[in-house]
Amino acid sequence: ETGVTQTPRHLVMGMTNKKSLKCEQHLGHNAMYWYKQSAKKPLELMFVYNFKEQTENNSVPSRFSPECPNSSHLFLHLHTLQPEDSALYLCASSQEDGTGRGVSDTQYFGPGTRLTVL
């Protein structure tokens, strides 16, 4: 596997279910991100992890819970979601130098998980 992978690619869940999205990066990067992409809306940054520490939480509802057990893996745990949470969830990674400006400005994205909440 190369680059950034995400599983599952598609997920349909009810509002009372609990599920998890998984992201894995094979690039040796130290920062990982969750984005939400909804129709007709700009890409929304949800969470940022630098060096496994969460450094950003953009007012995301608590029904979304991230977990970063190591620098290669990132999870998004989902519970009691709403239909408006249906979207494409994208994971990305980058190599950061700790100052915020980045050794590399480039973020590498996975293919996304298409989530539908019924």
Partner 1 sequence: GDSVTQMEGPVTLSEEAFLTINCTYTATGYPSLFWYVQYPGEGLQLLLKATKADDKGSNKGFEATYRKETTSFHLEKGSVQVSDSAVYFCALKGGSSNTGKLIFGQGTTLQVKP
Q: Which residues bind partner 1 (CB under 8 A)?
A: 4, 6, 41-43, 45, 48, 50, 55-56, 90, 92, 96, 99-102, 105-112
State which residue, 59 or 99, has the beta carbon closest to partner 1.
Answer: 99
Q: How far apart are CA 29 and CA 6, in angstroms?
A: 16
Q: Which is nearer to partner 1, 17 or 103 (CB)?
A: 103
CA distance 66 to 22: 10
Cβ(19)–Cβ(117) under 8 Å? Answer: no
Nearer to partner 1, 85 or 113 (CB): 113
